[in-house]
Structure 1
Amino acid sequence: MNAHHIIKREYVESIRTKSFLISTILVPVMMVAFLFVPLLSAFFVSGDQVTVAVVDRTGEVAEDFTGALDDTLKDGRPKYLVSPVITSSPDFDREQEELITLMNNERLDILIDIPEDVFSLGKVFYITKGERILEIIEKFENSLGDIILKRRLASEGLDYEQVAALTRGISLEVRKTTKSGSMEERSFLGEWGLVFMFVMILYMALLTWGITIQRSIIEEKGSRVIEVLLSSVSPMDLFVGKIVGIGLLGLTQLIIWVVAGLSIGFYTYYAAAHIFSYINVPPSVLVYFIVYFVLGFLLYASIFTIVGAICSTEQDAQQLQGLVTLPLIVPILVLMLIIQSPNSNIAVVLSLIPIFTPMLMMARVVVLQPDFWQILLSVVILLVSIYGAVYFSSRVFRVGILMYGKRPGMREIIRWYRHA
């Protein structure tokens, strides 16, 4: 038996587990949920008529406001049923109390109370039982704002249309230059989404499959299976086989997720219109992603292998996981800094620290591809770091894999390394 057999064993046994199948299916299901739940909720919310009552203490706003609520549902019915409209009453407060009673009895959805001083203070009260649908609030706020502004301008002898034309703002269209000298449109929303997507995929993959390797070692130590394996294979072959086998498993799952995501996107109009219009992924970015995924996995897999080798139980391992996962959290915390200033000194330095390199260099590549020498340097640094991590962890693994009981301290781990 050699490393090839260990790779095959780890891959085949792990791919048949329920946890792998559930996690592989769960992510595409979550993708579908994120795409369709907002659409379904919007459909159900917008499919109902909304009853509105207006108490206009000025007597000047209600008519125009009612006329502005001219939206219709898909079946042609008016979306807003504005009734009653009270513009003059000897006792507005009593009328308001009666309307609130109707609201509590589910016969009224929204009550709009327009104070007498609305033209000076610009404050209108939106009263509801509990539902705060942002779409409706924005609609009412914009409509009332336009009506109040028109009244104010009219009182000063100014024309609303002329003032609106003179005060119309500008739209700042952001473009960025490419290394070829051309310019391309830059969407912060799409850029941020793309960076976040790649970084989170790396974070989840490195953490999930690193912990998977760690647990596999601890379980086999606990069941003494590891001793049987070591009777047929060398510790180094076992070490390499576990890392490569589970690494291929993670890559398989990643490919399934990507294919599922693209399929959902292409076959869903909403996703095609709202996601792919913002996201433009050059082929080079995908190549770099695969490179940093593989190198990052090898680095963190080696580290998690040490944790598995020196621990005999999950409880012992959990105490060390915090130290290992901290370097994976730091890139997420500084992600906004990288997006805003990808070529700043701190961004360059952080992206060349091996434990941060896979995620931060990937973020820099997406936002503003750095000079090739920086990318090459980051790959070289990662390769050297992987060699050092594999060399150290394999020697510790060789001794620690057969050690049981109390978790060793740092001095004992160093002693294992020296005597391996």
Structure 2
Amino acid sequence: MQTSLYKIWLIARSEFWRRVRSKAFILATLLVPVGFVAVAVAPALLGYLAEQGSHQTVAVVDRTDRLEDSLSAASTDQLTFRPVDQSVDSVRAAVRAGTYDGYLLLPDSLLEGTAGATYVAAQGGGLTDKYQIEQRVSQVVQAQRLQGANVSEDVLSIIESDVSVKRRTLRDDGAQADRTLAYTAIGYAMGFIIYIAVLIYGQYVMQGVIEEKSSRVVEIIVSSVRPFELLMGKVLGIGSMGLVQMLIWGTFVAGGAAAAAPLLALFLDPSSLEVSPDASPDAIAEAAGVTIPTIPVELVVWFVLFFLGGFLLYASLFAAVGSAVERQQDAQSLLIPVMMPLIIPILFLAFVLESPNATAAVVLSLIPFFSPILMMLRAAITTVPVWELAVSFGLLVMAFVATIWIAGRIYRVGILSYGKTPSLREIARWATYH
């Protein structure tokens, strides 16, 4: 037993260091966080720059004779309404000449509600321009209709006022600010991270087995170690590599979260948020309604455990598939039974997000092939009893033990089998060989 564990340790260590020292690992570890930041920040930054750099001048042809002044007063730095006293044909010619970006036609029956406004642009605009024009026309028309109905100023202020509802979550130490949206995003991210990690690192395991088998190196290796020891060492070594990579990326994320508030404060005006000009970046961000939640330590611990459990479960299956083929292309048809249990929880993400405590959600999160993704999602967005987490992880461990035993029996036959790609029925029969 001791010798067997030592051999597994040697194989796992060799797999770990061989891959961690590779240029591909180093580049992926450094570039993936940069890519995530670029994907997350670039759309918002480009949208901000586009908004700052764009300006629309809209001519207003007001046939009601009651709206043009209000629209002109509703102009902003990005959108200017300019009343004109010209015919539609003249305004259309001015738009073609580039004097205006478009013109807004307000028919005389607009205030009665029997006709709508029409906006004609020189070129197709974006959704933001369309929304801004519609919003301001609706506000001005609504205000004018209310005034025409002799509604008092008090009633107008009531209609125009917004009521904010602050959500709080009841905790043992009292009610705290509700961060459901933030923790939903965290849970969703954790689920997808585990899905992508299991898929990528599982492919590493399969590819490594195929390379060793096709080069006949495995024939030399199995003369010194048993196939099961080789399988377990390979799975543990690549799993350790994946965990190290995740921890490094987690450090980058933690550093980025710590720097998020100071960076956000650079783009916010304290006076518009009714806070002191010398307020801290955290206070400015909180006044803007943007807070970076603190991820509980226990959630991180469970994430690591379920990540390892999910990887070990699926990696053993990927290794079994890799041992049955000689080329990467031949493995595609055999991967379908392995990939289906990995894809199914993705289909239930929306349901679990909507009803994390529903009976179906609880049952699905206890199934070992689904629990690495769905249980982590539930743990992030709601309070999951510790016994549920423990039972789910216990079932995951037992499923891994059973799977690695079956995969080991397939592996010992598959790595020394060459020629025609076996069918699923033949692979199942390998598991019964003594």
Gaps of 5+ in 1: 72-78
Between stretches 4-13 and 166-175, larger displacement belongs to 166-175
| Kept in 2: contact 1:302–1:393 (CA 8 A) | yes
Between stretches 222-231 and 341-350, larger displacement belongs to 222-231
For 2:370 and 2:185, the matched residues in 1 are separated by 20
For 2:331 and 2:389, the matched residues in 1 are separated by 34
CA distance change for structure 1 residues 328 and 172 in 2, over 3 Å: closer, same or farther? Answer: farther
| Kept in 2: contact 1:32–1:264 (CA 8 A) | no
Between stretches 258-267 and 306-315, larger displacement belongs to 258-267
Cα distance, 1:381 vs structure 2: 0.8
Gaps of 5+ in 2: 1-5, 266-281
**Paired position in structure 2 for 1:69:** 75
**Paired position in structure 2 for 1:28:** 33
CA distance change for structure 1 residues 166 and 226 in 2, over 3 Å: closer, same or farther? Answer: same
SS across alignment from 1:2: helix
- When normalised by structure 1's length, the TM-score is 0.88
Between stretches 203-212 and 54-63, larger displacement belongs to 54-63
For 1:96 and 1:224, the matched residues in 2 are separated by 80
- When normalised by structure 2's length, the TM-score is 0.85
Cα distance, 1:326 vs structure 2: 2.0
Between stretches 349-358 and 113-122, larger displacement belongs to 113-122
Between stretches 15-24 and 327-336, larger displacement belongs to 15-24
For 1:161 and 1:148, the matched residues in 2 are separated by 18
Between stretches 387-396 and 35-44, larger displacement belongs to 35-44
1:13-60, CA deviations, whole angstroms, 9 ceiling, x for partnerless residues?
Answer: 222444433432332122221224422441243134333222222222
1:141 paired to 2:131: no
For 1:5 and 1:275, the matched residues in 2 are separated by 52
Cα distance, 1:276 vs structure 2: 7.1
1:156 paired to 2:149: yes
Cα distance, 1:322 vs structure 2: 3.0
Question: Counterparts of 1:123-272 in structure 2 under 5 Å?
Answer: 123-128=116-121, 129-134=123-128, 136-165=129-158, 168=161, 170-178=163-171, 180=172, 182-268=174-260, 269-270=263-264
1:332 paired to 2:332: no
Cα distance, 1:275 vs structure 2: 10
For 1:223 and 1:176, the matched residues in 2 are separated by 59
How many residue pairs end up in the alignment? 404
1:210-235, CA deviations, whole angstroms, 9 ceiling, x for partnerless residues?
Answer: 11101111121112222222233321
CA distance change for structure 1 residues 29 and 126 in 2, over 3 Å: closer, same or farther? Answer: farther
Cα distance, 1:393 vs structure 2: 0.6
Between stretches 207-216 and 30-39, larger displacement belongs to 30-39
CA distance change for structure 1 residues 99 and 330 in 2, over 3 Å: closer, same or farther? Answer: farther
| Kept in 2: contact 1:53–1:99 (CA 8 A) | no
SS across alignment from 1:369: coil
| Kept in 2: contact 1:189–1:278 (CA 8 A) | no
Cα distance, 1:130 vs structure 2: 1.8
| Kept in 2: contact 1:214–1:307 (CA 8 A) | yes
For 2:63 and 2:371, the matched residues in 1 are separated by 63
Cα distance, 1:181 vs structure 2: 7.0
CA RMSD after TM alignment? 2.5
Counterpart residue identity of residue 283, structure 1: V
For 1:27 and 1:174, the matched residues in 2 are separated by 35
For 1:297 and 1:165, the matched residues in 2 are separated by 57
CA distance change for structure 1 residues 279 and 324 in 2, over 3 Å: closer, same or farther? Answer: farther
1:47-97, CA deviations, whole angstroms, 9 ceiling, x for partnerless residues?
Answer: 3433322222222212221121143xxxxxxx44545x32x44x32x1243
1:60 paired to 2:54: no
For 1:189 and 1:251, the matched residues in 2 are separated by 27
**Paired position in structure 2 for 1:76:** none
For 1:318 and 1:19, the matched residues in 2 are separated by 24
For 2:191 and 2:227, the matched residues in 1 are separated by 33
Cα distance, 1:154 vs structure 2: 1.7
Moved over 6 A (4+): none
Counterpart residue identity of residue 351, structure 2: L
1:51 aligned to 57, 60, 66, which one? Answer: 57
Between stretches 191-200 and 333-342, larger displacement belongs to 333-342
Between stretches 205-214 and 409-418, larger displacement belongs to 409-418
CA distance change for structure 1 residues 323 and 161 in 2, over 3 Å: closer, same or farther? Answer: farther
Counterpart residue identity of residue 64, structure 1: S
CA distance change for structure 1 residues 266 and 278 in 2, over 3 Å: closer, same or farther? Answer: closer
Counterpart residue identity of residue 249, structure 2: W
1:150-185, CA deviations, whole angstroms, 9 ceiling, x for partnerless residues?
Answer: 21112111135523315745433333334x373333
- Over the matched positions of the two proteins, sequence identity in percent amounts to 31
CA distance change for structure 1 residues 372 and 70 in 2, over 3 Å: closer, same or farther? Answer: closer
**Paired position in structure 2 for 1:7:** 12
Cα distance, 1:356 vs structure 2: 0.4
CA distance change for structure 1 residues 360 and 230 in 2, over 3 Å: closer, same or farther? Answer: same
SS across alignment from 2:326: coil
